[in-house]
Chain A
Amino acid sequence: MPVATQPDPGATTPAALPLPRGQGWAWMAASVAARLLVSVLFVLASLGKIADPTRFLDEIRRYELAPFAVTPAMALVLPWLELLGALFLLIGPLRREARAVLMILLAVFTAAKIVVWAQGKAIECGCGGSFTFLKPIFDNPVGILTNLGLLGLLALDGIAASKRPRRRSSATVAPGSGA
């Protein structure tokens, strides 16, 4: 029965091997904390933009990085990508893809922040939309560090997810494997 005795390819990677007692919980706690923090910040930031799309559009235009014609579409879609990405990261079965969406957004936002900072432009980030209390953590140069921190938290969640033992289907579990 080669199929039955073949271990699950996903479960044979070193990352999926049983972790020493206590480490599993530590990774899980770190993962939950990272996802919670990132999700809360993204939900707040996106709601601030959704509440005041005109302001967000103006902020995008001030960066002068995106083609002007597409800036209204960006101002409409980006906040919803952030909101749904944050919600799915926290609660959904689309966690891995949501993490990818948020990491792509953060990478683009961080690159844009670095470019305008290097150009010496003193513009408001627009990251929190009408939620101006988010300004101190998102405006340059602190905003670059904040974004890098959020990217790091998402990477941490990704690593934690890879260390989580995967469920094996009954058809592929070798008898006596203890799984």
Chain B
Amino acid sequence: MLRAAGKFALIVGLSLAAAAVHAQWRGLRWTSEMTAAEYRARLERARVIKSERTIGLDEFKRLVASGAAVIDARDAASFEESHLDAEALGGLVTLHVVPETAAAQVDRLQSLLSFTDTILLYCNSVECDLSEELYIELENLGYLQGDFPRVRIYRDGWVGIEQAGLPTRSGPDDWEPAAMPVDDPGMPDDGAENPPDPADEEP
């Protein structure tokens, strides 16, 4: 009995050791950085966003066709395997942004506003909350000012895109503002690395 308990403890101990190495390597915390109350408030905010900012397939297709940018909030592997080909639907581009990387991509997201004021988010399915989390992150970063840019969440996510047979493509997100087509109405001058912010151009 003692021997079995020892073996059991060995498996648990090895798991703890592996988790410790993993946490150290990835810089993960063993304790929570927010309280349960803060987490619940965030969940409640996500519920409100879901109810106010969610759209169905028809509206999603209409907005993409009107030139909106699309953001895929799933994990990087899923995005690279396949994502919506927004350009094939008349949209601007499909970017890959997850809540954790939003802060590092604010400049790139800011440059999107030179081309469109509508951004559509999607994640895995109707059960997925990554889009709402990304929305909250963009709010916290000050990227969203009221309803500008107009950010909407496609309710059915990737599952809905596949079921609707919308065009898809694979590969990483390597979009840069300078890579926009020359005939795009919002295209900055050749060689311009950072397109001007529309807010800066106002008198």
Partner-B contacts on A (CB < 8 A):
50-55, 58, 61-62, 68-69, 71-73, 76-77, 79-81, 83-85, 88, 94, 96-98, 100-101, 122-124, 130, 132, 139
Q: Is B32 within 8 A of A69, CB to CB?
A: yes
A122 to B7, alpha carbons, bound, how many Å? 38
B43–chain A nearest beta-carbon distance, Å: 8
Q: How far is the CB of A15 from chain B (nearest CB, A)?
A: 18
Tell me whether A97 and B8 are in contact (CB under 8 A).
yes
A81 to B32, CA, bound (A): 21
Instruction: Given the known inter-chain contacts A77-B19, A101-B8, please indicate yes or no for A123 contacting B78, CB distance below 8 A.
Output: no
B22 engages A84 (CB within 8 Å): no
Contacting residues of chain B (56-113) with chain A, CB-CB under 8 angstroms: 74-75, 77-78, 100
Q: Indicate if the CB atoms of B75 and A55 lie closer than 8 Å.
A: yes
Q: Which B residues touch A130, using CB under 8 A?
A: 75, 77-78
Residues of chain A contacted by B10 (CB below 8 angstroms): 94, 97
| A–B Cβ pairs within 8 angstroms, 13 of them | A53-B22, A54-B100, A58-B133, A62-B129, A76-B30, A77-B15, A79-B19, A80-B14, A83-B15, A96-B4, A97-B4, A124-B127, A130-B77
The answer to whether B39 touches A68, judged by C-beta atoms less than 8 angstroms apart, is yes
Asked if A94 meets B75 with Cβ closer than 8 Å, knowing A50-B22, A68-B35, the reply is no
User: B: which residues have CB within 8 A of A?
Assistant: 4, 7-8, 10-12, 14-16, 18-19, 22-23, 26, 28-32, 35-36, 39, 43, 74-75, 77-78, 100, 124-129, 133
Residue numbers in A under 8 Å from B15 (CB-CB): 77, 80-81, 83-84
Decide: A132 and B124 in contact? CB cutoff 8 A: yes
Q: Which residues of A contact B78 (CB under 8 A)?
A: 130, 132
Which A residues are CB-close (under 8 A) to B129? Answer: 58, 62
Instruction: Select one of B22, B32, B43, B126 contacting A80, CB under 8 A.
Output: B22
B22 and A97 form a contact (CB under 8 A): no
Please name all residues of chain B whose beta carbon is closer than 8 Å to the beta carbon of A55 when the two chains form the complex.
75
Which residues on the A side are within 8 Å of B23 (C-beta)?
Answer: 76
Q: For residue B10, which residue of chain A has the nearest CB? A: A94
Partner of A72, one of B12, B22, B31, B128: B31
The complex places the Cα of A89 from the Cα of B116 at a distance, in Å, of 55
Rounded to whole angstroms, the CA-CA distance of A94 and B22 in the bound complex is 23
Q: Decide if B16 touches A100 in the complex (CB within 8 Å).
A: no
Task: Give complex CA distance A81, B19 in Å.
Answer: 9
List the B residue with the shortest CB-CB distance to A125: B127
8 Å CB contact of B7 from A51, A80, A94: A94
Whether B39 lies near A94 (C-beta < 8 A) is no
- Residues of A contacting B125 in the complex (Cβ-Cβ under 8 angstroms): 124
- In the bound complex, CA of A73 to CA of B31 (Å): 7
Contact: B18 with A84, CB < 8 Å? yes
Please measure, in the bound complex, the distance between the C-alpha atom of A88 and the C-alpha atom of B15, giving whole angstroms: 12
Structural contact, B127 and A72, CB atoms closer than 8 A: no
Cα distance, A50 to B15, chains bound together (Å): 12
Distance in Å from the Cβ of B153 to the closest Cβ of chain A?
16
Instruction: Name 10 extra pairs, CB < 8 A, besides A72-B32, A94-B11, A132-B74.
Output: A53-B26, A53-B28, A58-B129, A72-B31, A76-B19, A76-B23, A79-B19, A83-B18, A84-B11, A97-B11
Contact of A123 among B7, B39, B77, B127 (CB under 8 A): B127
Query: How far in angstroms is the closest Cβ of chain A from B132?
Result: 11
Q: A50-B22, A55-B75, A72-B31 are in contact. Are A77 and B11 (CB under 8 A)?
A: no
Closest chain-B Cβ to A102's Cβ sits at a distance in Å of 10
Q: Which residues of the partner chain A approach B14 to less than 8 Å between Cβ atoms?
A: 80, 84
For the complex formed, measure the closest distance between the CB of A60 and the CB atoms of chain B, giving whole angstroms.
11
